[in-house]
Structure 1
């Protein structure tokens, strides 16, 4: 199969199983925490987290996702070229279920696609499942183990060998330290010549046994204290690399020859690029993996580096990511300069990368039309960047040669850190490029010294910026306690679209309260202010979306987002009430240990030895709600710190360094604290308030998250939507479940919270009952199939025919599921010897199994028979000489297939 056929057959397979085929997300991710889109699930994170409803009906999807892993947590850049399977850019094929199907379906479909559609020999496949070790989360994934064991057993493979158990490092997936997580099940393929590794190479980083597919089952919510709770809805997230699948299918000539080493570069995804590079350089690509030294081997490394890096660059530029000196743009520039440097190894001179574009468009332009649409831009950007670097490279290489000559004279044969930094700072040589050139000459680089030189430069830059801020801090007046709009003058503009004004109503992040957002207005323009932070010198730094011709001296109007500020003020005031209530319930030893105050919720960390009981949580909530109902006044006054620092009535436990003057915030008679944040005027503005969670974050430290006012209603609506989506998922699988009664959220928030808690408990109970019923139904169905197999086996053996010297059972099993065929063959084989050709109908398709008893293997081959019967009818399949399975797309052709089987068996029996 070609790579295009693999990609299309994967998408077609899941389209036929009611998945929405989703376009690949751009390489420029939505998440600010990612440099590049690096996994298929990136675009679906908001659905997994319940932030947006699933837009697909049914809630399942599949795609092929463009990925770059060349920075941040996932960084394969430096391995590229030195082996045959690491890449900066690759395609990830994946399918997802959002609260719909789960382990049984995901695993069964993975098996069907690999073995029946693509022809992977079952004897060469191994599955791994999660079994926690000591101190590891969750429980043994018995369900996945059972499904895999059944599939391998039906294929004649020993599950004890082909289904292996591993711990958290290999088979447990987490989105982060907290949040959605769950066990995963990986499929590996044995590529040893004999195919008899018996699982000994699993997870050993051995290229003779490769992971080809990872099935992640998201079923838990990881909490801050390390505990796991079941999610309201369970999800499936799978991923497999197209390059790796293509290398196995094509490198083994369709699983016929396992004698050669598998390489991703020996596929139709890379061969056209390599051939173009051979023509440009006048050198052949040998495919060697290098040991230290050796010019031919270094040339092969260069071939792989260039074609890999070129793909990453072309796709990134097509998605609007351009080389630059910061962030992801700098990563691209590093990739390009690394490719250009390796071009020197092949005798190429810049610009040569644009010459590879036609070969890329011919292989991937149809699947990714954005490459064709942006061809001119890709070529011009590559040419300009290569030409720019070529000039610097010449000067830098001359300096490197001098530095290398000096290093060779040293006892340690090492290029000093400050010398490597000079190459980086002045000539743009990334550290890994300097290390590479040093290795080629038998030298090393002082990387620690390089890091120290880099840090010194950062400190010098930071000190210079701090001096600028110090000079304007005294002019920056905060007026936001009383005003939410203010006229101001631009004093200073800084990198990152940050601005300092002579006065501002924007509160800057401090003491747990996040900064304000809003707008800057001038000359008919309105620029969004994303957030406001505080410099070490106290200046308010406003981060704008862009500066749009804003200049120092401009007069502007600053407007704070009023609704957002009110939400924050509600939560900050509620934080003080919560602190007071905790001390009332738990005792005066309860001390604040950190906080977050935002528009969506408040988070309050405090010292306490263990979890709060339900009764304690209820008492805390009751005390806070009473203060809200009393509509206590909230007041503040500015005092000299010397006057209040020893006042026992004022809480000040935060270890803060207070200035000469401080603000004392009072709430009625219950709470007095030093606080520089913003607050509401009366507690009644909070409305209803509720604790959302109580967890542990460290030894002796607990955390409460809570919300009030409009934010609480938002949180309750999100909970309601998540519950309703989960309920609808159950209804799709079990149509008899009645609809969920909507709750009127314009009613009392207290009633809404109570109702949602009861509904959550009911949902969890229903899910447990349905899972138990499904398990029981599956067990009964399996027992019924086994009973039918015993009954049908008797009549099948009795009706056995002879074709020359071959006894055979040829049977149309009607509309039994395809899983029935292995059961029937096992039962027949236990009583009789010969060849069996069994067929069954599944919706529009027809499934077939051919079994050959051991005594007749010299006269009949199950795999060959299957192909000769099914392939002329548009079918597919494969297996072993003793057992093969496959199918044809049209059930009405079963009689024709069985007639072909009789002709072939007669020919085989006559010849024998």
Structure 2
């Protein structure tokens, strides 16, 4: 089974048993105590704790959850690569009962899916149940023991051997020191060649006996004194790693071959990524493990590290988590730098990680569409971070080599903690990266000394940070609503090239709007301001490219990047219009749930139960554009919050924290909202405006991305370039077709016209050019396909055969667009009569067409035949009795579907 088939069959199994299929929660967790979403249960914790009601009827759910374990309590980072099972990112399949079914049903369904659904041999399965040792909580889980014993006995297996009892460390689950807890029951599989381990390898950390499913039964409430009381409702929480199940099913060839060692990396989740690395590096991946102590086949370790870390990075960035120097962002940066460092082992030059995106989106994009939607952003972030680290690495390696030579002369062969900390503090080398490089040279690191140096820096930083924030708490006078240039005085210089000024026109990142960038002028030198953020006390923190000549008390001139601010302000005003339009179209229950406002585009998250229809999207666009064309005035006033907090005419979010003074931003007569962001003066400055995408990001949360003005021009220009590249590719394949004329940059003036009518005419002209380009490319592509279909028709017709008494052409046309199939059928009909079943594929989808010549329509109905062949492959389609088309998200299913079609035609004949 493929990983997609495993995931799909798991969810289908529990859907058929009354479970609501819940989308994966984002990797950015709702809980402030977590770095990343690290378990399937994270999104259900409020239900377990009684903080929210279960929204599912019946109260049971199933899901596949994205997880990262690379920091905090659960941290597998440094094990990755040195074995074949640890991962920073993995996918957890789970089913859940919230006060509904309990042990007997959960155990019965687990057995049914494993043995009947996936073919696990019962004799190779073992179950563990909770039996407390002296002093451990609770009592023997007799209910689970009896349920498992009955199932094993029914399969002819001895329950005394196949049901084992373990204590608290293995079979009792607790959410924390206090709170919900209960016994758990684990399912293990014996992978020894003979399958006769008789339970001796259970919980021994032996790769020949793997845990495959953990069933947690939450029935107690742990109290501070160590006692347990029964919960008013009992819950089931299960978890099963997709990677491990795939490794077992694929590694044993469906339990037919137990001669090979099982590896998660030998599955279809990783092999496409490894193949790209093999091509880039020119080296083969052999799957070898390092010898004890870390020596041996380092290239295979590097292969595993890179593909694992890449998956974690891609999924995290898709969920909005970016590499940085703090918190979860720093963990991501460590992961990326570790992957980049291992890339050197394979001789790869950065940036190489973006090359792995196509196979990832191909294999996982259907289950996780955010990978496809954010592919461009993921590639940009990865390339930028890799390139920056490459420069840092080159400088740091020279120092490391000096330190390593000195350490090699010492009897201890040890790099001191202070030296390792210098590499970390100055060159950004995480400790595990330094340890890796030291291990490659037979050296070790004084980790205790490193931690002592780190703790000293934390203490200094914490004290300095507290003093800094206290000293500047009320000393940043923001004048940027009215001014984009101002004189100011340096109040404080902080670590990381950050500066605080007594007066600033730079807007600091807040409320979804990005911070300003620009320049600081001092003594004739201009220093770039990279971004502006806000401290907890409200001070504006300006991150500069350098602060070498700045000292507290010196005077500077601060200048905001005007074009970037104008674009951002236009998008912020458009966000208010978008919110107003959504409430007009969808109703007043539509509530903002997050936003991003930047110079490139805007993003707006809001509550809604499902996708917007094309009509709703069109209506929202129309309402916003009408207000832009009307050139509505945009104004703002400052009020005391107490004066406006209960004003129903002003849109405000009662979960937000507002200060003593607030700004009310008004747009004509349609929108009044509390907002501290920057805005344009008239809506006409936005120019033309368009929704670029509408997607779901979580249960009940939708996301719109849009752009206006110059940012939209940039987007349209990019789309034109994409069309031209696609046309050039087609032109190379069909050289007889003349190339398109290049897109003219002269269509886009250097500055927007002053008059709104001129801007609108320009944008309409540009849109027309884009539409013309798209139509021309589509027409040329169709002509090329039609010509190919005419050329292929004769050879295709010659491949026809008889299915019973019916002349049939059942043909896999390979990797061609779905639009090729009706063109081929049209060309064939002039040369041949019968029933044609045609298929084509791309990396993510299979397309099917069934055509029936007039002579045979009384015997074969194309639409009905299509439904019958698509049903087993979860496809959809329709049509008329003489012609039907459809598709499936499983291109690998084409041979089986075409074989099924032949059987049905033989029966009809």
Bin of the TM-score, shorter chain as denominator length:
0.5 to 0.7
Residue in 2 aligned with 1:513?
none
Q: Is the 8 A contact 1:527 1:544 kept in 2?
A: no
Q: Could you say which residue in structure 1 is the equivalent of 2:312?
A: 312
Partner residue, 2:102: 102
Pairing of 1:272-421 with structure 2 (within 5 A): 272-292=272-292, 297-421=297-421
Matches within 5 A, 1:689-838: none
Q: 1:451 corresponds to which residue?
A: 451
Q: Quick check: 2:187–2:212 contact (8 Å CA) kept in 1?
A: yes
Aligned-partner Cα distance in 1 for 2:22–2:326: 31
Alignment pair present for 1:198 and 2:198: yes
CA contact (8 A) 2:77 2:88 kept: yes
Contact 1:318 1:370 (C-alpha < 8 Å) held by counterparts: yes
- For residues 458-488 of structure 1, give each alpha carbon's deviation from its aligned partner in whole angstroms, at most 9, with x where no partner exists: 222234345446768999xxxxxxxxxxxxx
Summarize the Cα distance change of 1:441–1:239 in structure 2 as closer, same or farther, 3 Å threshold: same
> Does the 8 Å CA contact 2:469/2:535 hold for their aligned counterparts?
no
Q: What are the equivalent positions in structure 2 for 1:127-526 lying under 5 Å apart? A: 127-292=127-292, 297-468=297-468
> Would the aligned equivalents of 2:469 and 2:539 in 1 still touch at CA under 8 Å?
no
Give 1:457 deviation, angstroms.
1.6
| Corresponding residue SS for 2:211 | strand
Judging changes above 3 Å, is the alpha-carbon distance between structure 1 residues 294 and 48 closer, same or farther for their aligned structure 2 residues? closer
The CA deviation string for residues 185-213 of structure 1, in whole angstroms up to 9 with x for no partner, is 00000011110000000001111100000
Q: What are the Cα deviations for residues 47-103 of structure 1, in whole angstroms up to 9, with x where unaligned? A: 111111000000000000000000000000000000000000000000000000000
- C-alpha distance in structure 2 between counterparts of 1:43 and 1:375, whole Å: 25
The corresponding residue for 2:32 is 32
Indicate conservation of the 8 Å contact 1:276/1:356, yes or no. Answer: yes
Structure 1 residue runs of 5 or longer lacking an equivalent are 476-490, 503-522, 529-542, 564-872, 876-912
- Cα deviation, residue 562, structure 1: 12
Q: Equivalents in 2 of 1:560, 1:544: separation in Å?
A: 27
**Secondary structure of the equivalent of 1:226?**
coil
1:309, 1:370 → 2: CA distance? 18
For the 8 Å contact 1:527–1:545, the answer to whether it is kept is: no
Aligned equivalents of 2:427 and 2:292: distance in 1? 27
Which residue in 1 is equivalent to 2:736? Answer: none
Deviations, residues 731-759 of structure 1 (Å, cap 9, x unaligned): xxxxxxxxxxxxxxxxxxxxxxxxxxxxx
1:59 aligned residue: 59
Find the residue that maps to 1:254 and give its secondary structure. coil
* Whole-Å separation in 2 of the counterparts to 1:174 and 1:292: 34
Given that residues 128 and 187 in structure 1 are in contact (C-alpha distance below 8 angstroms), is that contact kept between their aligned partners in structure 2?
A: yes
Q: Which residue of structure 2 lines up, in the alignment, with residue 79 of structure 1? A: 79
Q: How far apart, CA to CA, are the structure 2 residues paired with 1:295 and 1:354?
A: 29
Provide the secondary structure at the position in 1 that maps to 2:265: coil
Q: 1:435 to 1:31 in 2, by over 3 A?
A: same
Matched residue SS, 2:366: coil
Query: Is the CA contact (8 Å cut-off) linking 1:187 and 1:212 kept in structure 2?
Result: yes
Q: Provide closer, same or farther for how the CA distance between residues 294 and 149 of structure 1 changes in structure 2, counting only shifts above 3 A.
A: closer
Q: Distance in 1 between matches of 2:183 and 2:230?
A: 12
How far off is 1:453 after superposition?
A: 1.1
Distance 1:550 1:453, change over 3 A: closer
Kindly indicate whether the alpha-carbon contact (under 8 Å) linking 2:474 and 2:537 is maintained by their aligned counterparts in 1: no
CA spacing shift, 1:494–1:140, aligned 2, 3 Å: farther
Aligned-pair Cα RMSD in Å: 3.7
2:213 aligns to what SS in structure 1?
strand
Specify whether residues 469 and 120 from structure 1 end up closer, same or farther in structure 2 by C-alpha distance, changes over 3 A only: closer
Helix, strand or coil at the partner of 1:29: coil
Alpha-carbon distance in 2 for matches of 1:560, 1:397: 61
Q: Distance in 2 between matches of 1:286 and 1:178?
A: 47
Distance in structure 2 (CA, Å) of the matches to 1:414 and 1:549: 44
1:88 counterpart residue number: 88
Q: Secondary structure at the match of 2:229?
A: strand
Contact 1:216 1:236 (C-alpha < 8 Å) held by counterparts: yes
TM-superposition CA deviations, 1:154-206 (whole Å, max 9, x none): 00000000000000000000111111100000000001111000000000111
Instruction: Report the CA distance shift for 1:32/1:260 in structure 2 as closer, same or farther (over 3 A).
Output: same
How far did residue 371 of structure 1 move? Answer: 0.3
Which structure: larger Rg? 1
Question: Relative to 1, partners in 2 of residues 1:365 and 1:548: Cα closer, same or farther, differing over 3 Å?
Answer: farther
**2:41, 2:237 within 8 Å by CA — same for their partners in 1?**
yes
Query: When the two structures are superposed, what TM-score results if normalisation uses the length of structure 1?
Result: 0.53
Contact kept? 2:417, 2:451, Cα under 8 Å: yes
Is this contact kept in 2: 1:35–1:327, CA < 8 A?
yes
User: Any idea what SS the aligned residue of 2:165 has?
Assistant: strand
CA-to-aligned-CA distance 1:397-452 (integer Å, 9 cap, x gap): 11111110110000000001111001000110000000011011100001111111
Q: 1:14 to 1:470 in 2, by over 3 A?
A: closer
Matched residue of 2:23: which SS?
Answer: coil
Higher RCO structure, 1 or 2 (CA under 8 Å, sep 6+)? 1
Residues 102, 235 of structure 2: 8 Å contact kept = yes
Structure 2-normalised TM-score?
0.54
Provide the secondary structure at the position in 2 that maps to 1:300: helix
Give the Cα separation in 2 of the matches to 1:23 and 1:138: 34
Question: CA-to-partner distance for each residue in 1:684-738, whole Å, 9 max, x for gaps?
Answer: xxxxxxxxxxxxxxxxxxxxxxxxxxxxxxxxxxxxxxxxxxxxxxxxxxxxxxx
> What's the CA shift string for 1:613-656, capped at 9, x where partnerless?
xxxxxxxxxxxxxxxxxxxxxxxxxxxxxxxxxxxxxxxxxxxx
Conserved 8 A contact 1:180-1:222: yes
CA contact (8 A) 1:293 1:440 kept: no
DSSP 3-state at the match of 2:91: strand
Contact persistence 1:215–1:239 (CA under 8 A): yes
Question: Retained in 2: the 8 A contact 1:350–1:387?
Answer: yes
Per-residue CA deviations over 1:550-595 (Å, capped at 9, x if unaligned) read: 999xx997979999xxxxxxxxxxxxxxxxxxxxxxxxxxxxxxxx
- Which has the larger displacement, 272-281 or 360-369? 360-369
Paired residues, what number? 519
Query: Structure 1 residues 544 and 48 mapped into 2: Cα distance closer, same or farther (>3 Å)?
Result: farther
1 CA distance for matches of 2:300 and 2:74? Answer: 25
Q: 1:315 deviation in Å?
A: 0.3
Q: Distance in 1 between matches of 2:493 and 2:140?
A: 56
Cα distance, 1:548 vs. partner? Answer: 9.2
| Residues 366 and 103 (structure 1), Cα distance of their counterparts in 2 relative to 1, 3 Å cut | same
